[in-house]
Amino acid sequence: MQVFSYGEQTALTPSSVVTIGNFDGIHLGHRALICATVHEAHTRGCTSALVTFDPHPQEIIHSQQPVSRICTSTHQLSLLEELDLDEVHVIPFTEELSQLGPDEFVFRFLIKRFDLIKLVIGYDFRFGKHRAGDFKLLENLSQKYNFSLEEVAPVQERGQTVSSTIIRQLIQEYRFDEIPHYLGRDYSIYGQVEQGEQRGQKLGFPTANIQPGVTLALPDGVYVSKIKVADQTYFGVTNSGKKPTFGTNVSSVETLIFDFEKDIYGEYLEVMPLYQLRPEMKFANIENLKTQIKRDIEAARNYLSTHDLQLAINSL
C-alpha cells in the first residue's frame, strides 16, 4: 500500500475506484465500505484508493473542541494496509479547505487527482462547506465527470448502526468487552515505542512508552492491559494521560509489562485496556507515587488472577 500526501502524485494516474471519509477506528462500517472499494477495483482491474483527512475536519471547523480518536494515525494506516488497499491519500485539512463548496471539493480532491472510474461512499457521507454536498449532488457530478457511484448501506449490530460515536461512548464508559461487536477487534492503542525521560526506570518501574499524537477517546487513567509486541502477548499496567505529578501537558501511553525485560525501543506495541484501576491523579511527592504504583501492580495481578488470565501471574 502506498501512502500519499496531498502535494504528492502517483507516477501515473491509473484508473481508480475511490472511497473517501475520516475512517477513525476502521470499524465494521468502514470495513464494509473499504472492502466494497477493493472488490470493485479488483473486478474492474483498477487501482483501489482511499482518501482521508488529517487533522480530523471537525478539529478545524470547531477548533476549540478536539476530536477524541479511536485510533492513532499509525494504527489507522496499519489497519488500512491489512485491507488490501493499493493507495491511501492523506489530505491536510485546513480552514481554506473547510470553505470549499461541494462542487469545487469534488473537482480538487477526486476528479483532478484520479482517473475516477467509480466512487464508493458511506450512507452518511457529507462534504464541502457546511456539509452541503450529499449523495444527490454526487449523482449529478457523476454524470458531469463520467464516473459511477455507489452508496454503501449502514452496518447493523445488536440493533444499532455501527459508528465511531458508539465506539467512543463505549470506550469512555470502560465497556471494553462490548467494543469488538462494533469495531471487529479488541480496542487498542498502537504505536512505536519511544525513548522518553526514563522516569519509570528511575522509579524502579520501567515502562514502554507510546506518544499517540492525537487526543485519545480513552479517559486518562491507569488500566490493567493486555499487550502485544513482536507477535507475543503479555499483560501489565498502563497509564494513559499527562503525568500531572511531573507537570507535563503532553499525553502519553506508558505501559509496565509484567515479566518482561527486553529492549523494544523502535518496535511497535499494541496496548489493549481491560479494566480501569483508577483515574490519573497528581501525587504530592515521588514516594507517594511509588507506593501507588506498587498498589496498582498488585491490583492488576489480582484482576488477572480472578479473571483466569494466568499468563501474567508470575511474580514481578
Q: So where are the chain's domains?
A: 13-161, 188-312
Closest by alpha carbon to 183, among 217, 224, 227?
A: 217
Lowest mean pLDDT among 125-129, 281-285, 294-298, 308-312: 308-312
Residues 6+ positions from 180 with CB-CB distance below 8 Å: 186, 187
Which pLDDT does position 290 carry in this prediction? 86
Rounded Cα gap, residues 189 and 137, in angstroms:
37
Rounded Cα gap, residues 305 and 310, in angstroms:
6
Top-tier CATH class for 13-161: alpha beta
C-beta separation of 252 from 212 below 8 A: yes
Q: Using the predicted structure, report yes or no on whether residue 314 has a pLDDT greater than 50.
A: no
Highest mean pLDDT among 16-25, 120-129, 171-180: 171-180
Dihedral sign for Cα atoms in the order 263, 268, 272, 277: positive
**Residue 259, all three cell numbers:** 515479566
Prior bond of 206 cis (ω within 30°): no
Task: Classify 16 as helix, strand or coil.
Answer: strand
- Tell me, yes or no, if the two domains 13-161 and 188-312 fold the same way: no
E strand or H helix at 295: helix 286-306
Which pLDDT does position 36 carry in this prediction? 97
Residues 6+ positions from 68 with CB-CB distance below 8 Å: 168, 172, 215, 216, 217
pLDDT tens-digit profile of 35-94?
A: 999 999 999 999 999 999 887 777 777 766 778 999 998 999 999 999 999 999 998 887
Query: Does CATH number 2.160.10.10 belong to domain 188-312?
Result: no
pLDDT tens-digit profile of 115-170?
A: 999 999 999 888 888 888 889 999 999 999 999 999 999 999 999 999 999 999 99
Residue 147 CA, distance from chain mean position? 30
Residues 6+ positions from 229 with CB-CB distance below 8 Å: 193, 208, 257, 264, 267, 268, 269, 270
> Cα angle at 271 between 56 and 296, to 5 degrees?
120
Closest by alpha carbon to 222, among 172, 274, 175, 176?
A: 274
**Residue 286, all three cell numbers:** 515521588
Stretch 8-25: mean pLDDT: 80
Closest by alpha carbon to 69, among 222, 212, 174?
A: 212
Residues 6+ positions from 45 with CB-CB distance below 8 Å: 15
C-beta separation of 87 from 9 below 8 A: no
